[in-house]
Structure 1
Amino acid sequence: MRIHRIFSAAALASLALVAASPAAATRPATTTQQPVPALAGAPAEDPGLRVAADRAGLRIGTAVDTTALAADAPYREATAHEFNSVTPENVMKWQLVEPVQGTYDWAAADTLVDFARANGQKVRGHTLVWHSQNPSWLTEDAFTPAELRALLRKHIFDEVSHFKGRVYHWDVTNEIFNDDGTWRDTIWLRNLGPGYVADAFRWAHQADPRAKLYLNDYNNEGVNAKSDAYYRLVKELKAQRVPVHGYGVQGHLAVQYGVPGDTLTNLRRFEALGLESALTEVDVRMPLPTDPIKVQAQVSGFNTLLQACLLARRCVSYTLWGFTDRYSWVPSVFSGQGSATPLDENLVRKPAYYALRDTLTLAGR
């Protein structure tokens, strides 16, 4: 999808005033679109998020639980109906694709990629280099730095080559900095030094020159110590002619901590360095039980990030880290918190869903 958004002054001002109520898109589509599968139980004229996003020139995505995709028909239908982009929640991580050294298991990831192709969706690859969810054979054996570098290179080449032409974005590195802007202590930093980042991007680019390659992290929505560290890193990588293309902002928010007010400023400074950007893992959790104040704060969280993406000239996608509370990761990690997605456990749309759709609809007019 070619991103080309030009808003009038009135439309720009209106983005901040979208109410959390249903609205129908009225402008005819201006681009050729894949047929959108009907969502069970939805009105025939229901455009969903996907149609509104197509008209706004934005990729709207979700992380996908592949077990649920296989077993839960309503979840599968909603995934196809609401989104034009998908991200594997887990099945492209090293731990799952190479559980035994030298033996790859691509089945689950291939199934998701095939699903996306059948439904006219793009795939964001997640993730090539991370400190977590690595196979035990990698982390428990005493490899030398030279051996680890060779293993990392092989992993990146093998995975990116396997999905060449079928994955349009890769989160090459994930969560490499601490919140204070210092390097995170990882197996890669300890053994290879910070140069592993440049190596990873070069290897991924060699394996698939057409894929867009991203840095990805959390708590980097606004201008702060962590995003400053990324800003400095990008300038260094660019000076070394490293093929880095995108700045990924995860967007894991919590209503009790508020919403960064300078996300747009942050995205624009990375654009000035020549990068595109993406909101990659958005959810907005809250302490349970819910109440109207928390729900409205959640609406603000989802919508503030979406508005920043729409107003940035090179923000190309907005991805939810799961769209239904039925399969959300939040309760298992944050005790006493939940309700972090735009649909509840029964796939009923919440106010946050309608706010997202209304904002996309307005942006597409």
Structure 2
Amino acid sequence: MRTPARRSRRTAAVLAASTALLLGLAVAPAADAASRHQHRAATLDDLARQHGRYFGAAVDNPELSDTAYADLLGKEFGATTPGNGMKWYATEPQRGVFDFTAGDEIVNYAKDKGLKVRGHTLLWHSQLPSWLTSGTWTADELRSILKNHITNVVTHYKGKVFAWDVANEIMNEDGTYRENIFYKTIGPSYIADALRWAHAADPKVKLYLNDYNVEGTGAKSDAYYTLIKQLKADHVPIDGFGMQAHLALQYGFPYQMQQNIQRFADLGVDVAITELDIRMSLPSDATKLAQQADWYGQVTSDCLAVRRCVGITLWGYSDRHSWIPSVFPGEGAALPWDENLAHKPAYDAIRNALTAVGS
């Protein structure tokens, strides 16, 4: 007959063994998950974050239904930009009537995948609703419309986006102001007004001007340099300059890119590569793909070389959903993944630039 003490020791031993078994069952999957995480190949965003940058890609709403494509966005990148869902025609289709459905879908997807979101764009000469472009407005009326639009959109996405392209493509190639509806009706003061209204609606969000063909030095980038310098002098809230970087092999590489990024950084603003793609005349071949890869690597290295170049966003990421063939017939193959979501040499060039010693 066992004594109570012996029974107590035996019971304790059984309980201890059972507890150890249960803990083992509970801990093992967590340990396996940690091990899997440690052995997961670093993504482009993982590598960019080692340099204090982000690496993102734009996406449009219909593309989210392509599951394999959308999954790649969530796995490889750290930020996204809605291609169309936050533009004026989508967010205010009727005067004073706001619809955030498209933008919210991408914001919610990004939140689920742990991605940051760049807001794009509060004002642009294109993709405006017909009620706005067909109207006859006084300067005061259009200022009121613009203020109301910016205030409502920025307020809705307050805390959900980290940056806004406030004014998009407001310069001509020769450095003169684009004569959009806002410039013709209000004059150039609409730019500072838009920045002030966006800041008032969300004081923490980063505010950008954004354009293409400004990656190298020239009349257009000079005009933005002068404008941003003046905005800073006038204490207008401006945080960054977006270089879209829609490049094409047949037009040559903007070899002053690093110096150009640096001069904007020296004004006290961040610079972001916001819409990167590098197109070519079709069909593609090994020579063109090698040149494209070299350019992708150079853009990445140029950004890494300037502390205030804060990140890179591809405009799409796979040739499967690229905007280029429909806009530039006979051109395409512009992105680091092909139509089957397979890596191209450009992908390897980006990785190499992000992992280069001393970058």
2:303 aligned residue: 309
Which stretch has the larger CA shift, 160-169 or 48-57?
A: 48-57
List aligned pairs for 1:137-148, cutoff 5 A.
Answer: 137-148=131-142
Aligned match of 2:45: 50
Map 1:23-62 → 2, pairs under 5 A: 45-62=40-57
Contact 1:56–1:364 (Cα < 8 Å) also in 2? no
Check whether the contact 2:137–2:185 (CA below 8 A) recurs between aligned residues.
no
Mind listing any 5+ residue stretches in structure 1 that lack a counterpart? 1-34, 39-43
Deviation at 1:55, TM superposition (A): 2.0
* Identity among equivalent pairs (%): 51
Q: Does 1:297 align with 2:288?
A: no
In structure 1, the residue matched to 2:251 is 257
What secondary structure is seen at the aligned counterpart in 1 of 2:50? helix
Cα-to-partner distance string for 1:35-65 (whole Å, 9 max, x where unaligned): 99x9xxxxx7332212222223211011112
Which aligned pairs between 1:110-125 and structure 2 lie closer than 5 A?
Answer: 110-125=104-119
Q: Is contact 1:249–1:281 with CA below 8 Å preserved after alignment? A: yes
SS of corresponding position for 1:299: helix
What is residue 241 of structure 2 aligned with on the other side?
247
Distance 1:266 1:346 in 2: 35
TM-fit CA distance, 1:362 = 2.8
Q: For 2:63, which of 63, 68, 75 is the aligned residue?
A: 68
Give the greater-gyration-radius structure (CA). 2
Shift of 1:224: 0.7
Equivalent of 1:184, from 167, 178, 181?
Answer: 178
The residue that corresponds to 2:22 in the other structure is none
Deviates more, 1:144-153 or 1:84-93: 144-153
Structure 1 position 364, deviation (Å): 8.5
Residues 254 and 285 in structure 1, CA contact (< 8 A), matched pair in contact too: yes
**Aligned equivalents of 1:210, 1:110: Cα separation in 2:** 20
- Is 1:321 paired with 2:311? no
Equivalent in 72, 77, 82 of residue 88 of structure 1: 82
Question: Which of 1 and 2 has higher RCO (CA within 8 Å, sep 6+)?
Answer: 1
AA aligned to 1:237 is L
Q: Is the 8 A contact 2:280 2:288 kept in 1?
A: yes
Unmatched 5+ stretches in structure 2: 1-32
Q: What CA distance in whole angstroms lies between the structure 2 residues aligned with 1:304 and 1:364?
A: 15
Q: 1:204 is aligned with what amino acid?
A: A
Contact 1:164–1:208 (CA<8 Å) still a contact in 2?
A: yes
TM-score by length of 1: 0.86
**Structure 1 or 2: more helix by fraction:** 2
Paired with 1:291 and 1:351, the residues of 2 have a C-alpha distance of 11
Q: Give runs of aligned pairs for residues 150-165 of structure 1, distance below 5 A.
A: 150-165=144-159
Within a 5 Å distance, the mapping from 1:223-242 to structure 2 comes to 223-242=217-236
1:292 Cα shift? 1.6
Residue pair 1:50, 1:81 contacting (<8 A) in 2 also? no
Moved more, 152-161 or 112-121: 112-121
Aligned-residue offset at 1:286: 0.3
AA aligned opposite 2:347: Y
Matched with 1:171 is 165
Alignment root-mean-square deviation, CA: 1.6
- Structure 2 CA distance for aligned equivalents of residues 68 and 329 of structure 1: 12
Contact 1:283/1:321 (<8 A) preserved: yes
Give the match for residue 275 of structure 2: 281
Answer yes or no: is the 8 Å Cα contact 1:259–1:304 preserved in 2: no
Deviating more after overlay: 145-154 vs 355-364: 355-364
Q: Does 1:201 align with 2:181?
A: no
Asked if 1:129 is matched to 2:120, the reply is no
CA deviations over 1:53-85 (Å, ceiling 9, x no partner): 22232110111121111x111011100011000
CA contact (8 A) 2:273 2:312 kept: yes
Instruction: Judge conservation of contact 1:310–1:363 (CA < 8 Å) in 2.
Output: no
- How many angstroms does 1:262 deviate by? 0.7
TM superposition score normalised by structure 2: 0.88
> Amino acid of the residue matched to residue 264 of structure 1?
Q
Output the CA distance in 1 between the equivalents of 2:45 and 2:262. 25
Moved more, 210-219 or 47-56: 47-56
SS at match of 1:62: strand
C-alpha contact 2:77 2:115 (8 A) present in aligned 1: yes
* Secondary structure of 2:210 counterpart: strand
Aligned residues: 324
